[in-house]
Amino acid sequence: MSSTHLEQSRPEQRHLETALDRIRQRGQLPEDLVTLLSNISTLQNTADAGPAIAPPTPERLAPAEAVLQGRPLLDREAFPVNREHAADLFDQILTLICREPGPLGEAGQGLRAQLQNGGLSVEQLLDHVLVDHDFFTQWGKDWPEAPRTAYFAAYNALLPSIRAAARALAPHLPEVRTWVNGSCPICGSLPLISILRGKEGFRHAVCSFCRHEYRVRRIACPICNADDQKQLTFFTVQEEPGLRVDVCKSCNHYIKTLDFRDLDREPVPEFDDLDSMALDFVARDQGFVRPTFSAWGF
């Protein structure tokens, strides 16, 4: 790892540890799960310096005019990931999963057995992350209590490469202040969560797939772009300071928003999303739908 990357990763690791401590203190999630996600996140942050990728040549990227109209800069299946690096990380992640108690560990062991007997390959799993979620739905039928295990392992193994690709692609985006198309301008995926930044409270969306952060309109649905204020509302709960749920009656979706500007906290989207699952239950009880899975793929 380069000294520059190490210097950049230290504050990120501190923010991660602070978020994990908060989750543990609240005691709403099983300690085994928190420890698993902590270990995987540490592996990913260490691996972020490792995946050498070959960014696509400019002629393979969508033209600026098309991106401004809502086409992704690069389709997900064309993302320049490092499969060798991901395969090594996959093995480490699967080892952690197999040590888990209960259905998750059993599903991990079942996945490893399929890999060992040739019924499945790591390369197939990594490819399906990029192009075909239906595959994981079929696989999950054999493990109904932990149906997302295969996707969870494969996606998180690829994530350092995906993030590296997004960083390499971002400079090729057209220069615009605000994106209005309801999806990530780099890969076309829907947003995971949104963040209010700066004293002005500019709103940024975080992509559910490549983790690219891009500015969106503050008073508009980041999913369908509806801006009729009669169709937009939000709610908060006292137990979750700095978090709110924005809902859109036009598309019936909701998205959580982090506003830590008045709190001594830095956003850690993957874990802030996990830490605020109670808000998901409230939103769903009101009939609204989350457009993506959690940051961890479940």
Each residue of 133-178: pLDDT tens digit?
788 988 889 899 999 999 999 999 999 999 999 999 999 999 999 9
Whole-number Å distance between alpha carbons of 121 and 239: 44
**Which one has a higher pLDDT value, 56 or 151?**
151
Query: How do residues 23-46 score in pLDDT, each as one tens digit?
Result: 888 887 889 999 999 999 989 887
Predicted local confidence at residue 8, as pLDDT: 43
Predicted local confidence at residue 223, as pLDDT: 94
Q: Rounded to two decimals, what is the model's pTM?
A: 0.91
Residue 18: which pLDDT band, with cuts at 50, 70 and 90? confident
Token code pair at residue 295 = 């940051």
**Which one has a higher pLDDT value, 53 or 212?**
212
Query: How do residues 187-243 score in pLDDT, each as one tens digit?
Result: 999 999 999 998 899 999 999 999 999 999 999 999 999 999 999 999 988 888 899
Residue 129 near residue 153, CB atoms below 8 Å: no
Helices 133-140 and 149-169 sit at what angle, rounded to 10 degrees?
160
Share of the chain above pLDDT 90, in %: 68
pLDDT at 126 over 70: yes
